[in-house]
Every structure is written in C-alpha cells, then in structure tokens.
Amino acid sequence: MKKRFLSVILTAAMTLTVLAGCGDGNSASGNTAKDTYSIGVCQLVEHPALDAATQGFKDALVSKLGDKVTFDVQNAQGEQATAATICNGFVAANADLILANATTPLQAAAAATATIPVLGTSVTDYATALEIEDWTGKTDRNISGTSDLAPIDEQENMLVELFPEAKQVGLLFCTAEANSAYQISLIEKALDEDGIAYKEYGIADSNEIQSVVTAAADECDVLYIPTDNTLANATETVYNIVVPAGVPVIAGEEGICSGCGVATLSISYYDLGYTTGMMAYEILCEGKNVQDMPVEYAPNVTKKYNAEICEALGVKVPDGYKAIGE
C-alpha cells in the first residue's frame, strides 16, 4: 500500500514537472505555464536584413511551440514616435514578450516596460542604445538579445586590402542613430592606427542623403557606411551617386552592400533572429531570467562582394571573398 501511494505521488510530481516545462518561470513578467504565448514584434522598417531577423525569430519559436505562439508584427516605418506607440500597445495588451528589431524599437520598448521581457535583435551596441556606462555584457534589467556588430577592425582591414592607395575615406552615417555613431568611432580608431585620413559625413535624415553623399563622393577615394537603417533604406540613391562617380563603398552589412557597396563583412540576420528566438523560448519555457542573459553575437562572419558593382568600378577582389547571392 505504501509503495502504491508513493508511486502515485511520484507520478503526480512528474506530471506537474512536465506541465511546468514551458512558461514556469518568466522572471520579468511573472507568467506561469500557458496554453498560448503572445509575442509583440516591433520592427523599425521593411528591409531585407531586418525582415530576415524577424523571420528567423518566428521560425525558432514556431519550431519549439508550434501553434502555441502567436505574433503581432508591426512596422514603425522608421519613426521613433510610431515605435513608441507600438510598444506601448504591446504593454497594454499584456504581451508575454516583446521583440525589438533594431535600435529605435529597443529604446521604445525599454521606455514602455520594466517588467515584460524585451529581446532586441539587429542592435549594434546595447550599451550605447540604453546609455549603460559600465557595460558587462548584460543589461541587468528586463532586456537582452543579439547584436549585429561585425568586427569593425576586420572591416577596416578589408578596406585597406581592397584599396591600399586610398588617401581619404568618407564616413557616411545618420547622426540620429546612436549605434551608427558608435561604429564610426570604432573605424576611426582603426584608420588612425593605419595612418589613413578620413572625414565624417553626417546625415540628419533622409532629406540630406543626396547632397551629403554627393559631397563625400567628390572629396573621398572610398566611402564607408556602417550598419545604418537610414542609409539602408536609400541604397538606390547612394548607388546612383557613387557608381557614376567611380567611388567604391565598403558596407557594414550585406543589405547595404547589395544595394550600393563593393564589399562587406557579412553576418546572417536570419541566424541572428533565430538565436534571439531560442533566447525567447528559454525565457518563456525554461525559466531563464532575462536579466541574467548576456547579449549574444553572430558566431560567424564572411567576406562578401557585390560582383556587379565591382565589375562596374573595375575592383579586383582577391581570394577569400564570396559573391553576394551565391
């Protein structure tokens, strides 16, 4: 009788463990095991890199949860105020988790909630975005995620490898994007170490792109564009200026390179989003505390080149580069 009673108790305990296996410890929002999970996704703009990150995030969670997870994907159309409205809406709807795709949505989500778990992706530097002075790799708040920062020193090495005779490099970026300015500061250090002159060309908004890029192309041998959402949405404009002028662009990410660049140090935004989705699963279903989760980075980078633009500009690409699209 005692053995039978003990068997019943053990079976009940095991059953409770299984039932609690998903959603038993959402430390930031206090959620317990649920039948379905609602995820709010705020994406800054429609762009191939950001789209891929969102898709990877969704695919990761669906692979784990199937139809137990739903997504409310909303686009901020590049507007900070719209991102704030979207994130406040997710909070009002009591979302189980918020994905902030790019820096502006991350800042909006951080302002909207201190309790709901927030994961960022396609964010270059969390310390800059969240104004954290003593960066330890974790935010120590309800925020973590993945970074799309490729090694800037390796990007500078690529620039020197392809254009060893360059006398001045033009640094194009949107001054309203903190992470763009951060990347510019890093490549300036690398250029200083190699004794290469450079000049900053800051763009306040999309209305200034035509004039600023034209000035940069007139004054510089090579242009560098970091991972920058404003310029990512204007690659056709940049292309129509730099290619006729014969000025090559080294890009911080593959989407920009596809539109107007000759080479980039590429990461997979789909894989980055997928990694973020697995982090979300750990929070929702394995009891991970988002505050304790370090920001993760792309595991691999690849040297890639734009074959069409390289041919148009007569750029010879050495071994070790992969053509975009191959």
Please, what are the domains in the chain? Answer: 22-148+269-294 (3.40.50.2300), 152-266+302-323 (3.40.50.2300)
The pLDDT confidence band at residue 136, using thresholds 50, 70 and 90, is very high
- Quote the strand ranges of 76-123, DSSP E: 97-101, 118-123
pLDDT at 6: 41
pLDDT of residue 299: 76
Is 32's pLDDT higher than 60?
Answer: no
Cα(187)–Cα(226) distance, integer angstroms:
9
CA distances from residue 202 to 60, 191, 228, 325 in whole angstroms, order as listed: 37, 18, 12, 30
| Between 65 and 301, residue with greater pLDDT | 65
Give the chain's radius of gyration (CA, Å).
23
Q: Quick one: pLDDT at residue 28?
A: 52
Residue 8 has pLDDT above 50, yes or no: no
pLDDT of residue 199: 98
The pLDDT assigned to 266 comes to 86
Q: Residue 101 has what pLDDT? A: 98
> E strands within 213-321?
222-225, 249-251, 263-266, 296-297, 302-305
Task: Say yes or no to pLDDT of 20 above 50.
Answer: no
Q: What is the DSSP string of 19-73?
A: HTTTTS-BTTTTB---S-EEEEEEESS--HHHHHHHHHHHHHHHHHHGGGEEEEE
3-class DSSP state of 97: strand
Rounded to an integer, the average pLDDT of 59-72 is 98
Handedness of CA 178, 82, 210, 151 (dihedral sign): positive
Of residues 86 and 149, the one with the higher pLDDT is 86
In the predicted structure, residue 30 carries a pLDDT above the cut 60: no
Q: One-letter amino acid identity for 292?
A: D
**Mean pLDDT within 8-15:** 41
Judge whether residue 134 has pLDDT over 70: yes
At which residue do the structure tokens 């990007």 appear? 155
pLDDT for 169 equals 98
The two structure tokens encoding residue 192: 């200083």
What are all long-range contacts of 296-299, with beta carbons under 8 Å and residues at least 24 apart? 296/145, 296/146, 296/147, 297/146, 297/147, 297/149, 298/146, 298/147, 298/148, 298/150, 298/267, 298/268, 298/271, 298/272, 299/271
Q: Which of 160, 126, 165 is nearest to 146 (CA)?
A: 126
- For residue 139, give the nearest of 127, 152, 150 by alpha carbon: 127
Answer whether 142's CB lies under 8 Å from 95's CB. no
Position 15 scores a pLDDT of 40
Q: Is the per-residue pLDDT at 105 higher than 70?
A: yes
- The residue among 1 and 124 whose pLDDT is bigger is 124
Average pLDDT, the chain: 90
Q: Minimum mean pLDDT among 23-27, 67-71, 113-117: which range?
A: 23-27
The confidence score (pLDDT) of residue 304 equals 96
Q: What's residue 14's pLDDT?
A: 40
Q: Which residues pair with 123 in a beta bridge?
A: 147
Higher pLDDT, 75 or 26: 75
pLDDT at 19: 39
The closest alpha carbon to 183, from 204, 154, 206, 212, belongs to: 154
Q: Which residues contact 218 (CB under 8 A, 6 or more apart)?
A: 245
pTM of the predicted model, to two decimals?
Answer: 0.74
Cα–Cα distance measured from residue 3 to residue 66, given in angstroms and rounded to the nearest whole number: 39
Query: In 10 A of CB 145, how many CB atoms?
Result: 26
Sign, CA torsion 183/184/189/193: positive
Q: What is the pLDDT of residues 36-65, one digit of tens each?
A: 999 999 999 998 889 999 999 999 999 999
